[in-house]
């Protein structure tokens, strides 16, 4: 069971932990990766060593370059 925090400093520490966890999660979400979703929304990762992974990454990078070229 999670220990209940007491006092303002403990609460502040709890909030800081929460913010840090959110930042870590956002950083993880932005790591290079390929995710596919089936019609029900279930997500699966195409592993970096999987067939086609590098080509998919390359195509996405090319798309980004095309979009950036306009800006």
Binding site for other proteins (CB under 8 A): 8, 11-12, 15, 26, 29-39, 44, 46, 50-53, 55-57, 59-64, 66-71
Token look-up 């840090």 returns 20
CB of 31 to other proteins, least distance (A): 6
CB of 38 to other proteins, least distance (A): 5
Distance CA 66, CA 56 (A): 15
Yes or no: say if 21 and 14 are a contact pair by the CB < 8 Å rule. Answer: no
CB of 21 to other proteins, least distance (A): 14
């Amino acid at each position: 069971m999670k220990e209940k925090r007491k006092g303002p400093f403990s609460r502040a520490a709890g909030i800081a932990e929460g913010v840090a966890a959110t930042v870590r999660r956002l950083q993880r979400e932005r790591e290079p990766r390929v995710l596919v979703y089936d019609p029900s929304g279930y997500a699966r990762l195409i592993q970096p060593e999987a067939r086609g992974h590098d080509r998919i990454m390359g195509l996405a990078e090319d798309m980004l370059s095309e979009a950036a070229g306009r800006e």
